[in-house]
């Protein structure tokens, strides 16, 4: 046993040192590995350029949120709510499963969306093509039962 004592002491020191370094890296929440960088060489002897015009720039486009006039019952308008079952962008038709309550007016499941209809989610105006099956929509329908406004996941 005494012959192996120096070896066991060395093993103990290595284990303690490895544990300390691992704990230190965990505490600092950093990886002991350096970050990976991709530096690809130019193809076929081409010169590598740092021309600023060739840099990719991120452009953030702000989307507006239009004001939607309130439902006007005196003009025959109604507000309906339902779950989207289908979207036909070309024909501008939303098929919905209408949510009903005691005051709801029943409508046909296929609702035409006016060309100038305001369509928006919680943040901004969106397009008809951005409405997905399963979305919950609220719609203001004109007396002709055409949607003039669609609120998505409101």
Q: pLDDT digits over 64-121, tens only? A: 888 999 999 999 999 999 999 999 999 999 999 999 988 889 999 999 999 999 999 9
Q: What is the pLDDT of residues 107-121, one digit of tens each?
A: 999 999 999 999 999
Across-strand partners of 112? 93, 146
pTM equals 0.58
Cβ atoms of 149 and 139 closer than 8 Å: yes
| Beta strands at 146-152 and 110-120: parallel, antiparallel or unpaired | parallel
Rounded to whole angstroms, what are the CA distances from 116 to 76, 128, 147, 150, 153?
18, 11, 10, 11, 20
DSSP H helices in 30-149: none
């Amino acid at each position: 046993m005494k012959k192996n004592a120096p070896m066991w002491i060395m093993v103990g020191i290595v284990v303690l040192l490895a544990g300390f370094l691992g704990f230190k890296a965990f505490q600092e929440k950093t990886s002991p590995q350096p970050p990976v960088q991709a530096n690809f060489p130019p193809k076929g002897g081409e010169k590598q350029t740092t021309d600023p015009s060739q840099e990719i720039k991120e452009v953030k486009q702000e989307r507006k949120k239009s004001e939607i006039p309130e439902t006007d019952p005196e003009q025959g308008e109604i507000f309906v709510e339902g779950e989207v079952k289908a979207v036909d962008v070309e024909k501008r038709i939303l098929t919905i499963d209408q949510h009903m309550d005691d005051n709801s007016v029943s409508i046909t499941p296929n609702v035409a969306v006016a060309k100038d209809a305001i369509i928006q989610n919680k943040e901004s105006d969106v397009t008809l093509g951005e409405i997905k099956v399963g979305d919950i929509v609220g719609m203001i329908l004109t007396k002709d039962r055409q949607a003039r406004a669609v609120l998505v996941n409101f």
